[in-house]
Structure formats: structure tokens, C-alpha cells
A and B are shown apart, each in its own frame.
Chain A
């Protein structure tokens, strides 16, 4: 992972009429990162992606893709971005292979069927490549969305809630594929999600967004560190006492001294979920 910033959002605002969907979004994504944008439904994750890729125009603030404002140089920035939209959509007229070939051409790139076949293979769509897209199952259509985003081989892949409503098997194989894209193809991957486990499992860094604002952006490790671990003391009277403990120094003896009848001691590791809840409940903390 390098320090080169590939995506930059600075005080991005987006209004729809009187409604402010994005109030103040500011964070950066570095080259080669696996980055998660975490936020509940309605946080403005999709709106932010739409501002990034030109599906809508931001109201104010700065956005840069590899240092370039996408509104100033759309051609260059669009080539760098692969967007997997949240809503599954497909052109009912064409087959997956045709859709991918057209997509490459619309990006101005020469045909490369070997590369497209590789994507289809990786996404287990090879045997469906020549059927009408409307004949694909829900899971296949979702994978086709990913294939479409990769057709022009962009260095940055952005996935908007790619696992919402996806079964466990498909989810795990998708995780594997994303990890492979990142390690073997050196892609930067940004994923939005409202599943905390997903961010915790995959991401090097996480930005938490709520009600159109970036609340915090840090490494997953640091974020987990922000929430203290808890010492759970079970007493002989079958009571459970929870004591927050400092992550850096743990003076067990002095704590336990207060509880004469200790049956068991456990340390509860913080979950990203708790960090998330704490920050989204009380944004000013």
C-alpha cells in the first residue's frame, strides 16, 4: 500500500431541492487500499458515489480522482473508475458477453475477449455468457454488474452494497474475488456497506458516514482501539459485572480486588458495531 491518494472528497455537499443528502463528506482513499464506507441506509453513500462517477453533480466541495476533478476531466476519471451500482440492472436485449463487449467499446478500448472471458470465469458466468441477460438468476445478475464494472479494467473498483440480499456462499466467493483483485491486480477497492462485519472483515480503513456527514475515518484497527475492551467478571453469586478497561495498561489485580468472589474472568473485545453505534448515536463525541 502506498501513500498516493487516489480518491479525495473534501467538504462534499449535495442538495436535492431543500433536502441536503450530503452535508460534509471528507475522506481520502489511498492506492491499493481496501476501503469501506460504512453507514446506515440513507446516510448518502450512493449519492456520494453518484457525485463521483457523474450520475449526478455535486452542489459544492471538492472531489478528485487521481488528482483530477471528474467534472473537469470526465474522460480520464471515468476510465479510472469501475462502479458496481447498488441496484441490479441489465439490458434485456443483450447477452452477458455482448454487454461486456459493448461496455469496453463505449470506454473507447479495443476488444479483448480473453480478458472478458477471464472475468466471466472468475464470476462463474462462463456457461451463461451467451444467454439473454433476463434469463439470469438474481445472483448471476449481481455478478454481471461486477463484470460490467471490470470490463474496462479500471484501477479503482467501487462497489455499492454488493452483498445486500446475497446468500452466504456467493458473499464468501465475492470476498475472495475482491481480495484477489486487490493482491494480484493491484486494484484499489472501495466498498459501501451497512454490514459492520463486512467492513471489519475486509477493510484496511473505514469511513463512517451518517446523515450525509463523515463522522470518522481511520484504520479498522484504530477504530476498534477507540472503544475500550471490557472485562467481564462473573461472581460466585452468578452476577456479571462489566468494567471498561484501558487498552494500554491492564491492572487486573487492583480491579479484581474489589470483587471478592470471582468465579470467572473474560475479556470482551470491542466490535466495530459498538464503535459504529457509539459514533452514529452521538456524532459530536
Chain B
């Protein structure tokens, strides 16, 4: 592991989204503001509380996740697909980067972007709800890291696999967004019919949302242990998949 090589790749992946910060940082904030205006303001007066928490506050962790994981996912996947389109994949393949350096470099770029978006949306949320300090800092930070890490690693694998931009936006639209919305971010599981409750337990996003909600608000539908374990296992599996892909040159080498 060479630190200079890793940090250069990580910096390149951060610099890329920072250069277009209005798209990558401001637009998720604007979307979040609109959610708060509609769900917190308009609907919040009708759905007053879930588990003793004001509705506007209940949806904060889920909204943060929805926006930050989408951004974490897009960072490596769009970077890789742009390389394929512009023929600059060799910029990644010619330098002596090891599989670990590549995995960590892309992961860092996506996580930094995801965490910046998370921070901005928590700040917006604080304005709307007044809540600033999380219930459990440790769980809160770990869940944020795992959630953004998982989606960055997923975006990297997808970027390596994809041949066109449609493959990536398709995955984002047909898999991530529904998974997010059905991951109990706008409602409590109790509000669902029993079968839907069971199905939700197979949705990885549910554990990310539930774990983060525990870290931020101190309420959870399943024991936070399970959320941490499920997220940790998914993270490690995806990390291994990334490492393997870079190691073998899968879909990248000619």
C-alpha cells in the first residue's frame, strides 16, 4: 500500500465532484429542503408523531440516507463510466495502483461526497426541526460511514460492470430509489400489513435507516445490533467484490 498513490486517486475522485459542487452538493440540499417543506410542513401537521417523535424529525435520518447514498453511489460509477466513454480507462490501468489502493481510493471519494451531503442535509434539518445533537454519536457515525461506504462500493462495482450510462442510471432508478423508499424511511413498520413488514426485513436499506435513526433519535424497530451487523457484513462483502474486480481487471482490461 503506497499512500501517495492512494491519496492521489482519492483526491482525484473528490476534486471531480468538488469542481461541479452546485450539481453534487447544492442540488441534494434543495431536494431535502423541498421534502421538509412538504413532509414536515404540510403533511407533518396531519401525521403528528411516530413513536413519540414529531414526523418532521422522524424522516430526517431517512432523507439524509436517500440523498447521501445516491451521491455516494454516483461518485465512483459516473467517474468510471466517463472514463469508459472518454477512453481514459488507461489513466487508471497504466499507473502502478494496487487493487487495494484502487478500492480505497474510489471508496474515499464516494464516502467523502456522501458525508458532505449528509452533513449539509442534517444542517438543513436542524433549521427545520431544531435537533442538532445525535442520540448516540458512535452508532450515528458508524452507520453514516457504513451506509455511504456500502453505496460507494456498490457504485464502483456497477461502474466497472456498466457499458453505458443507462446501466447506471437504470440501477439507480429501478433499484436504489425503490429500495430507499420502501426501507421504512417515511413510516414505521407497524404501519404496514404483516407481509410487507416481513418483506421489509430483507431490504438492506431498512437496516441502514433503522440503525441511523437509532443513532440520531434513539428509536429503532429492530435491535441496533442487527442493523450494525447486517450493514457491516454487506460492507465487507462489497469491499471484497471491489478488491477482486480490481485485482483481476474484470470488465476493465481489454
Contacts and interface: CB of A to CB of B under 8 A. Distances in A.
A55 B8 contact: no
Interface secondary structure of B, over-half rule? helix
Interface in B143-191: none
Interface of B: 2, 4-5, 7-9, 11-12, 15-16, 19, 82-83, 86-88, 90-91, 93-98, 249, 253-254
Nearest to B95: A106
Nearest to A75: B96
A107 B254 contact: no
B16 A83 contact: no
Given A91-B88, A92-B82, A54 B94 contact: yes
Contact of B5 (A74, A85, A94, A108): A108
Nearest to A91: B88
B95 A107 contact: yes
Contacts of B11: 102, 105
B8 A105 contact: yes
Contacts of A60: none
Given A102-B8, A108-B2, 10 more contacts: A53-B94, A54-B93, A83-B94, A89-B86, A89-B90, A90-B88, A91-B83, A93-B19, A98-B15, A107-B96
Given A50-B254, A78-B95, A108-B2, A89 B87 contact: yes
11 contacts: A50-B254, A53-B94, A55-B253, A75-B96, A78-B94, A90-B88, A92-B82, A98-B15, A106-B8, A106-B95, A106-B97
Given A93-B16, A107-B96, A56 B5 contact: no
B160 to A, nearest CB: 15
A87 interface: yes
A110 interface: yes
Contacts of B98: 75
A103 B86 CA distance: 17
Contacts of A85: 90
A65 to B, nearest CB: 12
What are the 6 A-B residue pairs with the smallest beta carbon separation, nearest first?
A: A105-B8, A89-B87, A106-B95, A56-B254, A75-B96, A78-B96
